[in-house]
Amino acid sequence: LLEAIEPLQRGLTATPSDVERIEGLVVELEGRNPTAAPVNSPLLNGQWELLYTTSDSILGRSRPSFLRPKGPIYQTLDNESLRGKNRETTPLFNAVEAELEPISDSEVAVQFKRFWLAGFIPVPAPASARGRLDTTYLDEDLRISRGDKGNLFVLRMNDKNAPNIQLFSDTSLTNAYHMAITDARVAAAVVGGIALGITLQFLGCLLWHNWWPMLTAFMYVLVPMPALFFGGAPGSNLASSWVDAGKFLTGFSAVGSVAIPAILYHAGKIVGGALVMQLVAVGVLAATLFAWDYMSEVDEGGFYSY
Report phi then psi at 298, rounded to 5.
Answer: -65, -45
Would you list the domain boundaries of the chain? 2-169, 173-298
The confidence band for 185, taking pLDDT boundaries of 50, 70 and 90, is low
Mean pLDDT for 168-175 is 44
Neighbours of 198 (CB within 10 A): 15
> Are 87 and 73 in contact, with CB atoms under 8 Å apart?
yes
Bigger pLDDT: 33 or 193? 33
Note the CATH number of domain 2-169. 2.40.128.280
pLDDT by residue (tens digit) across 95-115? Answer: 999 999 999 999 999 999 988
Average pLDDT value over all residues in the chain: 81
Per-residue pLDDT, 153: 97
- Greatest mean pLDDT range, 19-33, 53-67, 106-120, 247-261: 19-33
Bigger pLDDT: 144 or 293? 144
Judged on CB neighbours under 10 Å (0-12, 13-18, 19+), 82 is: middle
pTM of the entire predicted model: 0.66
Output DSSP code: residue 158.
E
142-147 and 152-159 beta bridge pairing: antiparallel
Alpha carbon distance 23, 14 (integer Å): 12
Alpha carbon distance 73, 273 (integer Å): 43
